[in-house]
């Protein structure tokens, strides 16, 4: 009550008046934005031929044996706002395309949607920041001989997404503005009290902003895996809207055939992006917010971990800059768009810090073991597991190597229980994800890139001379090592990390510097050794091909081959060499501070200049792509990449089959009713034959589907598709829907209870410690 009286006191009258005015302005603007016009129906008479070969009648615009722009609509008067554009057509040629033209002020954002032959309707999103009286839809064909495309009509449907987005962004802007005003008028205290702390905060913000510069463009730059991960966001959105939680089977992609992206590739960190999509934000805006958030998390976690390890703000700031702006991380973010990998890189510093915190305990010093020293390690591995399985495997490998190297300390009482607690907690917290994943892997449900082995690791290895190049282009892909590096994407750790390792060797050779901090010298030696081991594994010097040729080690060859590319070892190498560089500054800072400043400046220059050039090259040479919704990712194979999670059975990847939206019934089966809503199918059928007959449903086969029907109908699968088999003479209705497995829900409950118990016990221990 006292706090409320203080808030509504007379001295806060002007601030409260400002808040009231902001609320009224936002409310009035929201009401105005929420009002939308009616549906604009574009009938065949409003579609006019553009090419001479095109004809128009009461059925629509038609063209045969033609490639290019063939028809447009008449001018359309569109006020500002958001719209769904629905195109009705018939096409038996190659995929056509529909685009939007804003003749006077081309500020509209829209998807260049395709018109695939297997469908008769396509939908895409359109945003109009400003109204336009001369808007137009344009239609492109790609028809060969005896191939025809008809545009039979279109509808432009206003949506409320524009109103919701403007309201939310307005609320955020007003909240920030009010907070700044309260700070300037000293009605609230700044959360950072010291000038040094404020400088550090500004430096961290600067690092994060610099690392996000390409996000400031009005579009997305092309990335190798961008369409795949945008499809994941759209699938997650569709799953949440369908009532799934957690989402495990994506109902939107590949023409709603069901794909287990969320089950096989955890997307827990993509949920905020999916929620933004549900609230009305465009797909590319949601992705940009995600990239910025992960960059901020990388900055914050790295600074926290390094500051705890070295108790030095300068070393932590240097390491944060080196890691966040490292060449391999920026390559993952902007060149490869490897969402899982750069998300996992945000948690690697927590793993290193957690391992250091566990192993710094010693039974000889007589101190009581820290009760929660295992928590950062468990949180770090949880972050890895929920981001990228392959990075998790690499972290497990290097952690196991470290534990074996220090086996005498590993099996002591303070260390081993802490490691077991961390492992146990991480398993319990992630059981909800691991149980379905392990079921699918053990049963061999999905393909899971089984074609890779150690020979592929050698083919994707990196030349030693390439590994520490200072610059790299932002285009190209990873080529075979036999093809050389001309035109290849950046595959380098950067010169800064090589210089950091060199400076550390200089420190070790100087007795005065080496003895200034034994902890830093020991940490630097370990991280340098393991960092060079990781770099060696990524290089052409590693005998991957010999492992492939060794018959007794074929199982190991196939296991390691699942890493796909040897240069994935750059992920742990980057983290470890950054820690080594920080150790260098810590060692020199105590006895030769001027040398430490010069080395830190050199390392920053060798990091910032190449990072800036890479982002500049990406912004100025990359293809500009706009993604408003899933319609922009209409290439079905592009939605799933290599199709690692397709059914193991021989499922054709031909577009004509993937695009099929209706069931296929055997001879003798009469299908009298059929409806499909996402991953739920309701049908009524009769088998008039004397033998069993089946109906192939437009859903991929995965364990977790269940059927409700009378006896005589069975849910089976063939060629990777769900199939309903009917007994002779069977007649009735069938419902097939995705429900998952009962023991998945049990795992969900165990994980939820484990997380809740951890939070309660941790808070209780913190309160007890405060009273001591």
One domain, residues 89 and 179:
no
Residue 500: its pLDDT value, please?
94
Q: State the Cα–Cα distance between residues 615 and 217, nearest whole angstrom.
A: 12
Q: State the Cα–Cα distance between residues 766 and 772, nearest whole angstrom.
A: 10
Residue 2 clears pLDDT 80, i.e. is over it: no
Q: Say which range, 172-186, 598-612, 624-638, has the weakest mean pLDDT.
A: 624-638
One domain, residues 20 and 75:
no
CATH number at 711 reads: 2.60.220.10
One domain, residues 88 and 149:
yes
User: What confidence category does residue 586 fall into, taking pLDDT thresholds of 50, 70 and 90?
Assistant: very high
The verdict on residue 410 lying in a domain is: no
Residue 578: its pLDDT value, please?
96
Secondary-structure breakdown of the chain: helix, strand, coil percentages, each rounded to the nearest 5: 55, 20, 30
Q: State the Cα–Cα distance between residues 529 and 501, nearest whole angstrom.
A: 10
User: What confidence category does residue 194 fall into, taking pLDDT thresholds of 50, 70 and 90?
Assistant: confident
Share of the chain above pLDDT 90, in %: 37
Residue 506: its pLDDT value, please?
92
Q: State the Cα–Cα distance between residues 621 and 490, nearest whole angstrom.
A: 15
The verdict on residue 676 lying in a domain is: yes
User: What mean pLDDT comes out for the span 715-728?
Assistant: 88
Residue 142 clears pLDDT 90, i.e. is over it: no
**73 φ, ψ to 5°?**
-95, 165
Does 246 sit behind a cis peptide bond, omega within 30 degrees of 0 on the bond before it? yes
CA distances from 132 to 79, 84, 102, 281, 304 (A): 6, 16, 7, 21, 50
The verdict on residue 114 lying in a domain is: yes
- Exposure b/e, 278-313, CB count within 10 A at least 16 = b: eebbbbbbbbbebbeebbbbbbebbbbbbbebbebb
Residue 104: its pLDDT value, please?
63
Residue 669 clears pLDDT 90, i.e. is over it: no
Q: Which of 320, 359, 370 is nearest to 207 (CA)?
A: 320
User: What mean pLDDT comes out for the span 489-493?
Assistant: 87
The verdict on residue 209 lying in a domain is: no
Residue 655: its pLDDT value, please?
47
Residue 663 clears pLDDT 70, i.e. is over it: yes
One domain, residues 25 and 65:
no
Containing domain of residue 81, as a range? 40-159
One domain, residues 6 and 106:
no
Mean pLDDT of the chain: 86
pLDDT digits (tens, 9 = 90+) for 367-398: 666 788 899 999 999 999 999 999 999 999 99
SS3 90: strand
CA atoms within 13 A of residue 283's CA, in its CB half-sphere: 29
Residue 419: its pLDDT value, please?
93
The verdict on residue 130 lying in a domain is: yes
The verdict on residue 719 lying in a domain is: yes
One domain, residues 31 and 90:
no
8 Å CB contact between 380 and 347: yes
Helix (H) / strand (E) element for 732: namely strand 731-738
One domain, residues 25 and 8:
yes
Q: State the Cα–Cα distance between residues 700 and 258, nearest whole angstrom.
A: 6
Residue 392: its pLDDT value, please?
94
Written as six digits, the tokens of 142 are 């790609």
Mean pLDDT is highest, among 11-25, 294-308, 401-415, for 294-308
Residue with tokens 């569709």: 238
Written as six digits, the tokens of 430 are 């992630």
User: What confidence category does residue 476 fall into, taking pLDDT thresholds of 50, 70 and 90?
Assistant: confident
pLDDT digits (tens, 9 = 90+) for 92-118: 878 888 888 876 667 788 887 888 877
One domain, residues 99 and 142:
yes
The verdict on residue 122 lying in a domain is: yes
Q: State the Cα–Cα distance between residues 586 and 166, nearest whole angstrom.
A: 48
CA geometry: angle at 626 spanning 121 and 275, to 5°? 80
User: What mean pLDDT comes out for the span 569-591?
Assistant: 93
The verdict on residue 109 lying in a domain is: yes
pTM of the model as a whole: 0.91
Q: Which of 491, 424, 483 is nearest to 459 (CA)?
A: 483
Q: Which of 463, 470, 468 is nearest to 485 (CA)?
A: 463
Q: Say which range, 481-490, 604-613, 678-687, 744-753, has the weakest mean pLDDT.
A: 481-490
One domain, residues 10 and 65:
no
Q: How many CB atoms lie within 10 A of CB 151?
A: 30
- 20 contact partners, CB below 8 Å, separation of at least 6: none
SS3 213: helix
CATH number at 73 reads: 2.60.120.260
User: What mean pLDDT comes out for the span 456-476?
Assistant: 84
One domain, residues 84 and 20:
no
How many domains does one find in the chain? 3
Q: Say which range, 468-472, 713-717, 766-770, has the weakest mean pLDDT.
A: 766-770
Written as six digits, the tokens of 281 are 């934000």
Q: State the Cα–Cα distance between residues 515 and 497, nearest whole angstrom.
A: 23
36 or 467, higher pLDDT: 467
One domain, residues 176 and 148:
no
Q: Say which range, 392-396, 649-653, 660-664, has the weakest mean pLDDT.
A: 649-653
SS3 156: strand
User: Where does residue 720 fall: left (phi above 0), alpha (psi -120 to 50 degrees), or beta otherwise?
Assistant: left
Q: How many CB atoms lie within 10 A of CB 331?
A: 24
One domain, residues 100 and 16:
no
């Amino acid at each position: 009550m006292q706090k409320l009286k203080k808030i509504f006191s007379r001295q806060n009258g002007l601030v409260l008046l400002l808040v009231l005015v902001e609320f009224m302005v936002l409310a009035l603007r929201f009401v105005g934005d929420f009002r939308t016009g009616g549906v604009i129906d574009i009938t065949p008479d409003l579609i006019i031929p553009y090419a001479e070969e095109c004809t128009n009648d009461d059925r629509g615009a038609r063209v045969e044996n033609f490639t290019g722009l063939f028809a447009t609509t008449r001018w359309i008067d569109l006020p500002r706002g958001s719209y769904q554009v629905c195109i009705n057509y018939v096409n038996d040629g190659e995929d056509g395309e529909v685009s939007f033209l804003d003749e006077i002020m081309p500020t509209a954002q829209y998807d260049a949607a395709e018109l695939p032959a297997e469908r008769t309707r396509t939908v895409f999103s359109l945003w109009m920041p400003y109204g336009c009286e001369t808007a137009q839809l344009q239609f492109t064909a790609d028809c060969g001989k005896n191939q025809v495309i008809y545009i039979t009509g279109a509808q432009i449907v206003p949506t409320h997404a524009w109103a919701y987005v403007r309201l939310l962004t307005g609320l955020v802007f007003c909240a920030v503005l009010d907070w700044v005003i309260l700070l300037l008028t000293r009605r609230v205290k700044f959360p950072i009290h010291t000038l040094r702390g404020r400088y550090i905060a500004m430096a961290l913000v600067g690092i994060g902003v610099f690392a996000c510069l390409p996000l400031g463009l009005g579009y997305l730059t092309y990335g190798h895996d961008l369409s795949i991960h945008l499809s994941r966001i759209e699938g997650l959105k569709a799953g949440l809207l369908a009532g799934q939680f957690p989402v495990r089977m994506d109902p939107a992609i590949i023409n709603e055939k069901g794909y287990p992206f969320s089950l096989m590739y955890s997307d827990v960190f993509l949920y905020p992006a999916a929620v933004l999509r549900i609230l009305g934000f465009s797909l590319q805006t949601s992705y940009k917010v995600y990239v910025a958030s992960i960059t901020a998390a990388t900055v914050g976690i790295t600074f926290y971990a390094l500051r705890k390890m070295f108790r030095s703000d300068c070393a932590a700031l240097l390491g944060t800059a080196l890691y966040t702006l490292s060449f391999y991380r920026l390559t993952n973010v902007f060149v490869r768009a490897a969402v899982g990998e750069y998300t996992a890189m945000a948690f690697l510093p927590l793993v290193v810090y957690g391992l250091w915190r566990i192993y710094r305990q010693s039974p000889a010093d007589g101190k009581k073991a820290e009760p929660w020293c295992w928590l950062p390690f468990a949180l770090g591995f949880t972050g890895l597991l929920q981001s990228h399985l392959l990075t998790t495997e690499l972290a497990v490998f290097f952690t196991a190597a470290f534990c074996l190297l220090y086996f005498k300390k590993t099996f002591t009482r303070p260390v081993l229980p802490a490691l077991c607690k961390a492992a146990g907690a991480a398993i319990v917290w992630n059981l909800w994800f691991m149980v379905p994943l392990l079921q699918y892997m053990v049963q061999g449900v999905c393909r899971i890139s089984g074609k890779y082995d150690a020979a592929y690791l050698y083919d994707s290895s990196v030349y030693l001379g390439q590994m520490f190049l200072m610059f790299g282009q932002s285009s190209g892909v990873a080529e075979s090592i036999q093809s050389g590096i001309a035109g290849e994407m950046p595959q380098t750790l950067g010169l800064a990390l090589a210089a950091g390792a060199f400076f550390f060797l200089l420190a070790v050779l100087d007795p005065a510097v080496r003895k200034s901090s034994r902890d830093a010298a020991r940490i630097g030696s370990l991280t340098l050794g393991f960092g060079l081991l990781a770099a060696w594994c990524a290089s052409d010097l590693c005998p991957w091909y010999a492992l492939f040729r060794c018959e007794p080690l074929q199982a190991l060859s196939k296991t390691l081959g699942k890493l796909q590319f040897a240069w994935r070892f750059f992920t742990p190498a980057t983290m470890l060499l950054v820690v080594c560089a920080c150790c260098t500054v810590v060692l020199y800072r105590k006895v030769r501070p001027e040398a430490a400043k010069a080395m830190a400046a050199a390392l920053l220059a060798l990091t910032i200049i190449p990072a800036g050039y890479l982002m500049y090259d990406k912004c100025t040479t990359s293809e500009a792509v706009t993604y408003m919704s899933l319609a922009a990712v209409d290439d079905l194979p592009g939605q799933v990449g290599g199709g690692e999670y397709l059914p193991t059975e021989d499922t054709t990847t031909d577009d004509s089959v993937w695009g099929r939206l209706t069931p296929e019934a055997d001879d003798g089966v009469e299908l009298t009713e059929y409806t499909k809503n996402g991953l739920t199918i309701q049908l009524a059928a009769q088998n008039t034959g004397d033998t069993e007959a089946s109906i192939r449903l437009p859903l991929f086969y995965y364990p977790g589907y269940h059927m409700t029907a009378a006896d005589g109908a069975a849910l089976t699968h063939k060629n990777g598709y769900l199939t309903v088999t009917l007994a002779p003479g069977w007649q009735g209705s069938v419902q097939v829907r995705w429900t998952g497995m009962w023991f998945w829900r049990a795992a969900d409950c165990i994980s939820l209870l484990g997380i809740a118990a951890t939070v309660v016990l941790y808070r209780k221990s913190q309160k007890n410690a405060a009273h001591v």
